């Protein structure tokens, strides 16, 4: 459970990145581009301050997620990322006045219940595990040529 704060940091930065990207795209207005204007338009999008901040925040989120993956099982850490949807839906409701109807609330509730169940399942960190070879399993060696 000591890695939960890192997992939640990953979730928070992922959700924040989504909100920044949305703000940036709203500030740009409807996007249209032709073959002649595609490169210029892409630079306008990427270097919009909100979009750029969102992309940088995604990089921070991914760095945090990579750290988490080096410490805990993927099947434990990855489902927590669904909480980013919960955060985005709630903040989008308050910040962007997006619809939060009964179906979305029910879906959010199911995501929360599922995440709690996964959290209760426990986790093992990579440092606590026995090497796979000692357990009788074969490991894939992707880097060597046989």
Residues 107 and 86: beta-carbon distance below 8 Å: no
- The per-residue pLDDT for range 30-79, each reduced to its tens digit, is 888 888 889 999 999 999 999 999 999 999 999 999 999 999 999 889 98
Is 50 exceeded by the pLDDT of residue 105?
A: yes
Choice between 37 and 135, residue whose per-residue pLDDT is larger: 37
CA distances from 22 to 53, 69, 77, 134 (A): 11, 28, 26, 49
pLDDT band at 120; cut points 50, 70, 90: confident
Name the least confident of 29-33, 126-130, 131-135. 131-135
What pLDDT is attached to residue 124?
57
What pLDDT is attached to residue 134?
44
With tokens 């399942």, the residue in question is: 121
Provide the whole-model pTM: 0.78
Residues 6+ apart with CB under 8 A from 115: 79, 80, 82, 83
Instruction: Taking the CA atoms of 51, 56, 62 and 68 in sequence, report the sign of the dihedral they define.
Output: negative
Choice between 93 and 37, residue whose per-residue pLDDT is larger: 93
Residues 20 and 54: beta-carbon distance below 8 Å: yes
Report the phi/psi class of residue 122: left, alpha or beta, with left for phi > 0 and alpha for psi in -120 to 50.
left
Residues 71 and 127: beta-carbon distance below 8 Å: yes
């Amino acid at each position: 459970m000591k890695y939960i704060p890192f997992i939640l940091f990953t979730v928070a930065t992922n959700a924040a990145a989504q909100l920044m990207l949305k703000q940036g795209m709203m500030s740009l207005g409807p996007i249209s581009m032709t073959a002649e204007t595609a490169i210029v338009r892409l630079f306008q999008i990427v270097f919009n301050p909100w979009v750029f901040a969102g992309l940088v925040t995604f990089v921070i989120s991914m760095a945090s997620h990579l750290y988490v993956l080096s410490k805990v099982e993927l099947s434990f850490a990855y489902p927590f990322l669904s909480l980013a949807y919960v955060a985005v839906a709630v903040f989008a409701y308050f910040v962007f006045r997006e619809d939060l109807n009964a179906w979305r609330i029910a879906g959010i509730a199911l995501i929360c219940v599922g995440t709690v169940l996964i959290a209760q399942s426990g986790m093992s960190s990579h440092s606590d595990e026995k090497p796979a070879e000692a357990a009788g399993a074969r490991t894939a060696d992707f880097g060597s040529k046989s």
